[in-house]
Amino acid sequence: MTTPTADHFVALSECHFMNEQSMHEISYYPGFTRWWQSVDGVIRAWANRDLAGGGAMPPPRAHALIEWMDRAGVDVCFALRESMMDVAGYASCMSTNAFVLEEIAPYPDRMYLECNVGPIMRRGVENAIWELEYLVRERGAKLCKVYAPEDGPLNDRRLWPFYEKACELDITLTIHMGMAYVCPQPTKYTLPLLLDEVCLDFPELKVIAYHMGWPYHEEMMGYAGKHKNLYLSLSGIIGWLQRAPYRGYHMIGQALQWVSPDKIVMGLDLAFDDMPRVVDWVRTLQMPEELQEKWGYPEITEEMRAKFLGLNLAKLAKIEPTKRVQKKG
């Protein structure tokens, strides 16, 4: 472990907001309880928390997010709705883009919209394209999340017009990759193999692969090495890597053997109070000498940490990587 020598710009994507009223309205669906039970497994691994045991978390709202951003010295976050429409038989969702826009309005230089216009095929690709264009051109969306587990395979040809529109708008897509962590969603829609086909047909499409594609992360790293505009995100899984650091050293070390330091970005997808521990871990990240010697992993430099923490994501989202806040404490 090393001591940070610079106060780097920090940006986190995938900060989920949930509308408590909307969630209450769908809570009677059997799928809602099943969904929460599966979320508990993810949180156990990523954060060592027990939702079933009543572990408290900050409310998933902007006022709580800004508090933890200030505590953790995080300059910018990208706020994202939580869809999960399949939990309620596609009758409703957990939050909307409009809800997120209202939440972030008081914090124009700290929070940006990471929109989600899905489920793209189920709602009609033309409708998703219209909303994407509106949110980018009229409401300043900086990223767009594609969440295939509630929709269909990433390489379904019906999605090709949507990918074409993303290229035209020059907006980076953040795509859930690897395991579908929650019920009732299948993993088969987000395997790295499917994204390979998309990137072959759309070489200019900028894609951030969330969660490093775990547990298919080695395959995901290979594809990121293959495709110039495919990036690897530590979102969510960073919570696991921080509390099991040698797992983190190996995953990040392996990734850096396939891609340059310009292609690894930060994300959250955790409770907001997990922010200090995961950001501080990257601030002081260093590769143990034994792993450099025995596994051939590179030394982690200050320049690399700066890129991971925020410079790479700022470039993809087309925002200025200027410091907004100093870390407290």
**CATH code of the domain containing 91:** 3.20.20.140
Task: Give the number of C-alpha atoms closer than 13 A to the C-alpha of residue 76, restricted to the C-beta side.
Answer: 27
pTM of the model: 0.96
The pair of structure tokens assigned to 323 is 């410091």
Q: Which domain holds residue 243?
A: 11-317
Residue 144 lies in a domain: yes
Burial of 123 (0-12, 13-18, 19+ CB in 10 A): middle
User: Which residues are CB-contacts of 148 (< 8 A; sequence separation ≥ 6)?
Assistant: 118, 154, 175, 176, 189, 190
Residue 327 lies in a domain: no
- How many domains does the chain divide into? 1
Residue 5 lies in a domain: no
Does residue 71 have a pLDDT over 60?
A: yes
Residue 1 lies in a domain: no
In tens, the pLDDT along 234-288 reads 999 999 999 999 999 999 999 999 999 999 999 999 999 999 999 999 999 999 9
User: Which residues are CB-contacts of 157 (< 8 A; sequence separation ≥ 6)?
Assistant: none
Using CA atoms, how far apart are residues 140 and 309, in angstroms rounded to an integer? Answer: 22
Q: Quick one: pLDDT band at residue 326, thresholds 50, 70, 90?
A: confident
Residue 153 lies in a domain: yes
Three-state DSSP class for residue 12: strand
Does residue 329 have a pLDDT over 70?
A: no
Residue 237 lies in a domain: yes
Sign of the dihedral through C-alpha 52, 57, 62, 63:
positive
Q: Quick one: pLDDT band at residue 1, thresholds 50, 70, 90?
A: very low
Residue 4 lies in a domain: no
Give the Cβ contact number of residue 301 at 10 Å. Answer: 12
Does residue 87 have a pLDDT over 70?
A: yes
